[in-house]
């Protein structure tokens, strides 16, 4: 399913349609959004380098990681950005987003250290993140620089919409994203969002702008109310390496398709597997005890077959309801009869039953009499 997301981004925009846009959203309970983002980014870059994608270039707008991080990431996937001909450009909104370094240099209290040359050849530092229109122009300029004019298209990856929203209003961010996806040289756009940092309406706005939403949720939701320390800890531990991954595709005609998978964070990176059944999930969460909390299949069937003593049996036989009074009077004669009757009903194959013998006659049966009426109060 994560593959189908990457395929849609690879295939890019249809003639006369907006470019496909993907929102990746997560929350602190399952903070694997960046893992998914890196996965999509590296998949798309390898399609790009293999010449399989519609886009001829990729612009990474990096807010939350340094450009050298992305170079390392892609290098570990076997893509050498620096030595290859220009396919990927990074717009560096990380190193100096507000121009503080410039201000300090002006004040004379700052000595900038030289950057590695490999980074500066693929990354352009952007120092004015408050102005979304300037940011938009820089992205388009970088993209055009990669693919040239004409009909060649490029993709845009934005690693944190949260940072943008911190510096600018939602309307200006939304207009930037909307302009990007409707630009006729953009092949696909995707961005990462931490949904719990914003109001719900912000998340909705961004979801409306995207044709696909990939959201991450914890596998186990914390139950309401107070929990013990140990339970809370085991819950955190369970959610630390796994999560639920939902993908929502919006078709052109408005049809929405929703799919779910399980993600696992492993040493080698992120792994997508089909969602394990709910039963296994519950079993995994139950505390490990020596006795069995769950019933086996056979035990479940047996339990379902038990006819409860006061249940209407409705099989034509007279209904025997033990009223407690009769046996007190003639228990000696009644008891064997009752037993033989039970044995008869037992012939119905496979049906469970409850046989009840009173321990002794000393035990007072239930009756309508008030047991306290001889008390002199």
Which residues contact other proteins (rule: CB under 8 A)?
28, 31, 34-35, 38, 65-66, 68-69, 72-73, 75-76, 94-98, 100, 103-104, 107, 109-111, 113, 162-163, 166, 194, 196-199, 226-230, 232-233, 236-237, 240-241, 265, 267-269
* Best CA proximity match to 43, nearest among 273, 264, 272, 248: 272
Shortest distance, CB of residue 312 to other proteins, whole angstroms?
48
* Distance separating alpha carbons of residues 377 and 367, to the nearest angstrom: 22
Using the minimum distance from each CB to other proteins, give the nearer residue, 107 or 258. 107
CB of 201 to other proteins, least distance (A): 12
Task: Quote the least distance from Cβ 340 to other proteins, whole Å.
Answer: 57
- Judged by beta carbon, residue 11 or residue 162, the one nearer other proteins is 162
Question: Cα dist. 228→222, 233, 282 in Å?
Answer: 12, 9, 18
In the complex with other proteins, the residue whose CB is nearer, 34 or 154, is 34
Residues 6+ apart with CB under 8 A from 159: 34, 37, 60, 61, 62, 63, 64, 65, 191, 192
Question: For the chain, where are the E strands, in sequence order?
Answer: 21-26, 55-62, 88-92, 123-125, 153-158, 186-194, 212-217, 242-250, 256-266, 269-273
Q: Is 78 left (phi over 0), alpha (psi -120 to 50) or beta?
A: left
Work out how close the CB of 58 gets to other proteins at its nearest, in angstroms, rounded to a whole number: 18
CB of 8 or CB of 265, closer to other proteins = 265
Report in angstroms how near the CB of residue 171 gets to other proteins at its nearest.
18
Round to whole Å and give the CA distance between 187 and 151: 10
CB nearer other proteins, residue 19 or residue 125: 125
């Amino acid at each position: 399913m994560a593959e189908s997301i990457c395929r849609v981004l690879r295939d890019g925009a249809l003639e006369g349609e907006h470019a496909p846009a993907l929102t990746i959203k997560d929350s602190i309970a399952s903070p694997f959004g960046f893992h998914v983002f890196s996965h999509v980014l590296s998949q798309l870059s390898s399609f790009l380098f293999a010449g399989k994608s519609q886009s001829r270039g990729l612009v990474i707008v990096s807010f939350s990681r340094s450009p050298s991080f992305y170079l390392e990431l892609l290098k570990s996937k076997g893509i050498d950005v620096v030595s290859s001909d220009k396919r990927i450009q990074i717009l560096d909104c990380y190193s100096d987003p507000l121009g503080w370094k410039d201000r300090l240099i002006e004040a004379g209290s700052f000595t900038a250290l030289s950057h590695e040359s490999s980074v500066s050849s693929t990354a352009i530092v952007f120092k004015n993140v408050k102005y979304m229109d300037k940011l938009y122009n820089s992205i388009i300029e970088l993209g055009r620089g990669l693919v040239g004019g004409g009909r060649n298209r490029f993709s845009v990856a934005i690693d944190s919409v949260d940072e943008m929203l911190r510096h600018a209003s939602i309307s200006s961010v939304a207009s930037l994203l909307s302009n990007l996806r409707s630009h006729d040289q953009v092949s696909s756009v995707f961005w990462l969002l931490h949904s719990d940092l914003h109001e719900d309406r912000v998340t909705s706005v961004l979801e409306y702008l995207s044709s696909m939403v990939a959201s991450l949720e914890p596998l186990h939701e914390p139950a309401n109310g107070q929990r013990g320390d140990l339970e809370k800890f085991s819950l955190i531990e369970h959610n630390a390496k796994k999560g639920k991954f939902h993908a929502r595709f919006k078709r052109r005609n408005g049809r929405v398709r929703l799919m779910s998978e399980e993600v696992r964070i492993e040493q080698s990176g992120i792994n997508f597997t089909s969602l394990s059944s709910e039963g296994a999930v519950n079993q995994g969460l139950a505390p490990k005890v020596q006795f069995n909390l769950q019933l086996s299949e056979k035990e479940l069937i047996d339990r379902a077959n038990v006819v409860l003593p006061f249940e209407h049996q409705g099989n034509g036989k007279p209904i025997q309801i033990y009223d407690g009074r009769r046996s007190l009077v003639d228990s000696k004669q009644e008891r064997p009869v009752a037993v033989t009757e039970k044995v008869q009903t037992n012939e119905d194959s496979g049906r469970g039953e409850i046989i009840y013998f009173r321990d002794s006659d000393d035990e007072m049966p239930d009756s309508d009499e008030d047991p306290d009426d001889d008390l002199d109060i």
